[in-house]
Amino acid sequence: MKYNFYPGPSKIYPQVARYFQEGMDLGIFERNHRSDSFQELFSRTKLLLKSKLNIPLDYEIAMVSSATECWEIIAQSFVQKRSSHYFNGAFGEKWWKYSQKIHPKSIGANFSVNELPQIESLGQTPELIALTHNETSNGTAIPLGFQKDIRKRFPDSMIAFDATSSMAGYEFDWENGDIWYASVQKCFGLPAGMAIMVVSPNAITRAKEIGDEAHYNSFNLILENTRKDQTHHTPNISNIFLLGRLLENVENITAIHNNLKSRKKDFYTDLKKVEILKPLINSSEVQSDTVFCLQGSQESIRMVIQTALNEGIILGNGYGVMKDSTIRVANFPAIPNQDYKDLINFLLRFEIKN
């Protein structure tokens, strides 16, 4: 396909093919993950993550298999009785329902896509507050101001952010959260099969207090290994190598996020010329910078997606209850700026013909 706007797995950086061949030539994918060469690779990749994403030096970075696995790690290792989940879409709700399997008393509260969570309902000191920073199903995001407010109000609570479709696209104020996690098949522009957890010193202390070491993916065991520049499991060495090579050559996250914000502004300005599709999210405060969600009639949505596919353009269909009434467009760093102009031109041509 010529264009890929699917919001995950999404477009891979084109240079990844060259990096993969480089890794093959070096034989790095065949190395023992307890070897010095792997430890050097892992250490260098973590340092590059901290440098390019502006992650505080005292935060730890762990590599696991998927963002979904992080739901289990968090529930097992950072929660004793219950977590408090606030969501406006399908992925945040799934996180809550999974957490209930481990802690049945975990709280779930829904809020509107054009609003913010009601922090007044959180009570005195929640054990762990779970928020979806960027909800892939509907194109919303938790704004920085709200992150700061909730951090200030609950300094003694753990705060966890699902950043699956925003990490490596957004510039975060990391200290507003204790646990951030994301898979690499979205803003990182890599093949699926690996996730990254970024964990604060306070969260590490909390995990040690709880003392969970009963599971294959208990965080304390993960931490013990990552501090030795190893993983608790046989790792996805190819993705770790590719991630490191990419990070060596991409811009700092400040420049990346500024570019995404700029082309988001241009895209929504140009979208006003299109009559059949409108933004689902009207509030600029909660509108995502990395996932655009557009609404229209079911027939229009069906025809746009199919016609686009015939022209070599992959668009994301809606998700969950909005499957047939919305289109999702990834605004991820690996996608060239010109592709969004080409997408608007396609939509204008589609309207003329239909």
Domain ranges of the chain: 3-10+253-353, 16-249
User: CB–CB of 97/87 below 8 Å?
Assistant: no
In sign, the C-alpha dihedral spanning 68, 73, 76, 78 is negative
Count the neighbouring beta carbons within 10 Å of the beta carbon of residue 163: 29
Under DSSP, is residue 301 helix (H, G, I), strand (E, B) or coil? helix
Which ranges in 103-190 belong to alpha helices (H)?
Answer: 144-153
CATH of domain 16-249: 3.40.640.10
Q: What is the pLDDT of residues 66-120, one digit of tens each?
A: 999 999 999 999 999 999 999 999 999 999 999 999 999 999 999 999 999 887 7
Q: What pLDDT does residue 32 have?
A: 84
Least confident range of 28-37, 90-99, 216-225, 288-297:
28-37
Quick check: 169 pLDDT over 90? yes
- Give mean pLDDT, residues 200-216: 95
Strand bridging mode 179-183 / 158-162 = parallel
CATH architecture, domain 3-10+253-353: Alpha-Beta Complex (3.90)
Strand bridging mode 134-135 / 140-141 = antiparallel
